[in-house]
Structure 1
Amino acid sequence: MKRKSLLSMLLVGLMALSVVASGCIGGGENTKGAIAIVYDVGGRGDLSFNDMAYLGASRAAKDFNLELVELQSNSEDDYYKNLETLAKAGKYKIIIAVGFMMTDATKAIAQKYPEQKFAIVDGFDSEMPDNVMMILFKENEGSALAGALAGLIAANDGKNKVGIVLGMEIPVLYKFEAGYRFGIKWAEDYYKQKTGNDARVDVIYQYTGSFNEAAKGKAATEAQLQDGAWVVYQVAGGTGLGVFDAVKEYLNTRNRQMGPPFAIGVDSAQDWIKPGVIIASMMKRVDVGVYNAVKAVMDGTFKGGAVELGLKENGVGLSTVDDVMAMFNSLSEDTQKKKLQELGFNSKDELRQYLENTRNQVPSWIWQAVDELKQKIISGEIKVPAPTNKDSIEKVRQAQTWQEMEQLAG
């Protein structure tokens, strides 16, 4: 409950008003219509995936003078019911389903209500009706940068293990895992070329089976740190918040305020949650995808089918200090003051300086190397595998070099 209330406070500054199940943003007497969003079971308050979807929808509602209605799914049984409740109303310009788990329900309801436009985040079905836009991301590309960062930090510090804590074992998370492993192998190769020294960095991974249980994320991370993980990447929504807690406590017991070891955030620029602990975040711009879907409806360019956003489209990428501060600056004045006080800073400048100092714990050549990988992926010189089933992720796990992994990219 504490995290839920904290997020509620933070989002006050981002958008004026939101009421779950019947929220209204923008609109008023001059409203031009309404949009709706159905959250996955992780829900608002995960500080990552669902919250990023909310930010995109709420920004679109404000920009296009629309009412925003929100429905929360408390279990998988709610998906079909929530989507049909909205579709039956017949008043929404678009209904947005957040999460892979809603794929079947979205397909069924879209077939039943062919005049209603839908968008689904992370859901894909080759037989999806043409009134559904499927918003997909190249998480493998962004995660490759996270892996390169983790691998180079570990190798440079003489360590041989990094970790990754994931949520449910679903196809989209295989893409995160594969990209992370790819980046780590690329880092081994890069480190050898730069220093002349061999590096072997193994990956400890665990699927927790949950996106909303921080205690599970914390326990998984504690085990990985005990086993020698030097950087831990969280890919578990609200469960992943426990990753940050575990790394923070690990540092505290050693009387240290900054890593390494470090955590890597996911989906949003999470660095501000635990400054000194989170070295960067793999931003998955769900907000961009959701906003663009609403915009397409409003400007008459909406088309069904898959839209995939990668590094080139700014759909994924590692957070910068500017990204973190942009999010912080979007909060209300009162919220900023409260958050700074909680973190022990007297000003935003102190927070920015602390974030920069945290990044300075990592040599500049490592950041440059990560950017080099980014540019090669954007140019198409390097391709990162994107497995979506158990057989293909297992092949990535067995590969010994990034070049072997690249062959699996097709």
Structure 2
Amino acid sequence: MSKISKLLIAILAILMTGAVAQFVAINRENNENIKIDSAESGQIEADKPFKVGIVLSIGGLGDKSYNDLAYEGTRLAQEKLGIEYSYIEPATSIETEMAYGAHHLRQYAKEDYDLVIATGFLFKDACEKVAQEYPDVQFVIIDSVVAAPNVTSLTFKTNEGSFLVGAVAGMVTKTNTIGYIGAQDTEIFQEFRNGYEQGAVYVNPEVSIASRIVGGDNPFAVPNRGYELANELIAQQADVVYTVAGATGIGAIEACKEKGIYAIGVDSDQDYIAKGTVITSMMKKIDTAVYTAIELAMKGELESGILEFNIANGGIDTSPFTHTRDQLPADALAKLDQIKKDIISGKIKLN
């Protein structure tokens, strides 16, 4: 298990291209397209620094996934736009995070921060409460919807991205059994699983899926548990394992590497963690979404409602197969490209 410890200790910077692609996000409330400017716009002139407070989700920094991406979007806004920011890392359990979430958000609101970001669905109730208490402060919440005039919700079509990596799993499996590990058995994680299974079966009707749920007080930061659950799935003949559980997935990747099977990363491009083992990653571009929200807020253009990120606007995708392109079936990338087009056009309908 020493390999897992080494992976946890390693500090790897999330690479950015330096320019955030233009997005078209959907404001469901107004049912209209919003064009989002590129990060090339440079720093925005202001009389005083624009202050952003971000409350990270359970697991904190170093997860090589969800929190690191949210933080990177804020850091990039400092570099490109000249903002000032502060961050709070959360408690060590779901119960305490939910109990103290409002306190953390309120801390930034009462200190006159211009934008307060709640990272994750666990902050939904806290965000609703504090946004009502501070109607003149703008809030952003990721992966949840809060209907309030001063809250913008950043949502992602994770079932679309999971469909794509499921299709990859369906194309590379030899046993026709693939595995899934989710942090919790809740609606948001069921969306990941369902998309994954649907994509796999779409390209390979013989595929079956074996699942495990991490559970517990902190399912996002227990790589040893991810290692154990991945080995359970491997014992059931799974030869591809997709883990949606933050840093817990690091342990699952290690188990896959040891047993010589494929893993699938989540949120960020995790292919580098075990080159050749992580066949692809479901990229959920939280960094770009956070940067976009901050830039709009600075311009006075951030509206309440929902900004949705999906395959069509580039907010959801697979990793670029930097280390595994030659391990794919000959026509795999062409098939994947067509699947993307069919999802965008509506030809492929996801449950």
In the superposition, the TM-score normalised over structure 1's length comes to 0.73
Please name the residue that 2:344 is paired with: 378
Match of residue 115 from structure 1: 136
1:56-85 CA-partner distances (Å, limit 9, x unpaired): 111112211111100111131231111111
1:146 corresponds to which residue?
A: 165
Match among 77, 81, 105 for residue 83 of structure 1: 105
**Deviation string for 1:308-350 (max 9, x for gaps)?**
11100111110104xxxxxxxxxxxxxxxxxxxxxxxxxxxxx
User: What is the SS of the residue equivalent to 2:303?
Assistant: coil
**Distance in 2 between residues matched to 1:11 and 1:229, nearest whole Å:** 30
Task: Find 2:73's aligned residue among 51, 56, 69.
Answer: 56
User: How many Å apart are 1:124 and its aligned residue?
Assistant: 1.5
Equivalent runs, 1:172-211 vs 2, <5 Å: 172-188=188-204, 199-209=205-215, 210-211=219-220
Matching of residue 278 in structure 1 with residue 278 in structure 2: yes
Who is 1:244 aligned against? 253
Q: Determine whether 1:10 maps to 2:10.
A: no
Q: Which has the larger radius of gyration?
A: 1
Distance 1:187 1:31 in 2: 54
Relative to 1, partners in 2 of residues 1:382 and 1:273: Cα closer, same or farther, differing over 3 Å?
same
2:145 aligned with 1:124: yes
- The farther-off stretch of 66-75 and 141-150 is 66-75
| 1:9-408 alignment, distance < 5 Å | 10=13, 32-74=49-91, 75-76=96-97, 77-90=99-112, 92-125=113-146, 128-154=147-173, 157=174, 159-188=175-204, 199-209=205-215, 210-251=219-260, 261-321=261-321, 355=323, 358-385=324-351
RMSD: 2.1
Q: Tell me the amino acid that sits aligned with residue 82 of structure 2.
A: N
Q: Is the 8 A contact 1:31 1:67 kept in 2?
A: no
SS of residue paired to 1:176: helix
Q: Provide Cα deviations, 1:121-147, integer angstroms capped at 9, x if missing partner.
A: 00124xx21100000000000100011
- d(CA) in 2 for partners of 1:276 and 1:244? 11
- Read off the aligned partner of 2:295 and give its amino acid letter: K
Letter in 2 for 1:320: P
Structure 1 residues 39 and 4: CA distance shift in structure 2, 3 A: farther
Change (3 A) 1:250 1:216: same
1:31–1:66 CA contact under 8 A, matched in 2: no
> Counterparts of 2:155 and 2:15 in 1: how far apart (Å)?
28
* Cα 1:12–1:172 shift into 2, 3 Å: closer
Number of equivalences:
313
Specify the SS of the correspondent of 1:312.
Answer: coil
SS at match of 2:88: strand
Which residue of 2 is the match for residue 19 of structure 1? none
CA distance in 2 between counterparts of 1:34 and 1:12 reads 24
The secondary structure found in structure 1 opposite 2:192 is: helix
One-letter identity of the residue aligned with 1:123: S
Which residue identity does 2:189 align to in structure 1? L
Aligned counterparts of 1:3 and 1:161: Cα–Cα separation in 2: 27
Structure 1: gaps (5+ residues):
16-25, 189-198, 252-260, 322-351, 386-410
Deviation at 1:375, TM superposition (A): 0.9
Q: Distance in 2 between matches of 1:121 and 1:13?
A: 20
SS at match of 1:10: coil
User: Would the aligned equivalents of 1:166 and 1:240 in 2 still touch at CA under 8 Å?
Assistant: no
Checking the alignment, whether the CA contact within 8 Å between 1:35 and 1:61 is kept in structure 2 is no
After superposition, the Cα gap between the structure-2 partners of 1:369 and 1:14, relative to the gap in structure 1 and judged at 3 Å, is closer
Amino acid at match of 1:240: G
Write the distance in 2 (CA, Å) between the matches of 1:14 and 1:68.
21
- What SS does structure 2 have at the residue aligned with 1:146? helix
SS across alignment from 2:154: strand
TM-aligned CA deviation for residue 12 of structure 1: 11
Deviations 1:22-50 (A, max 9, x none): xxxx99xx962211110111211110011
Find the residue that maps to 2:282 and give its secondary structure. Answer: strand
Larger fraction in helix: 1
Partner Cα separation in structure 2 for residue 236 and residue 271 of structure 1:
16
Distance 1:97 1:2, change over 3 A: farther
On the 8 A contact 2:7/2:250 being kept in 1, the answer is no
Q: Distance in 2 between matches of 1:359 and 1:225?
A: 23
Instruction: Find the counterpart in structure 2 of residue 389 from structure 1.
Output: none
1: CA distance, partners of 2:232 / 2:171: 22
Change in Cα spacing, 1:14 to 1:359, as seen in structure 2 (3 Å) is closer
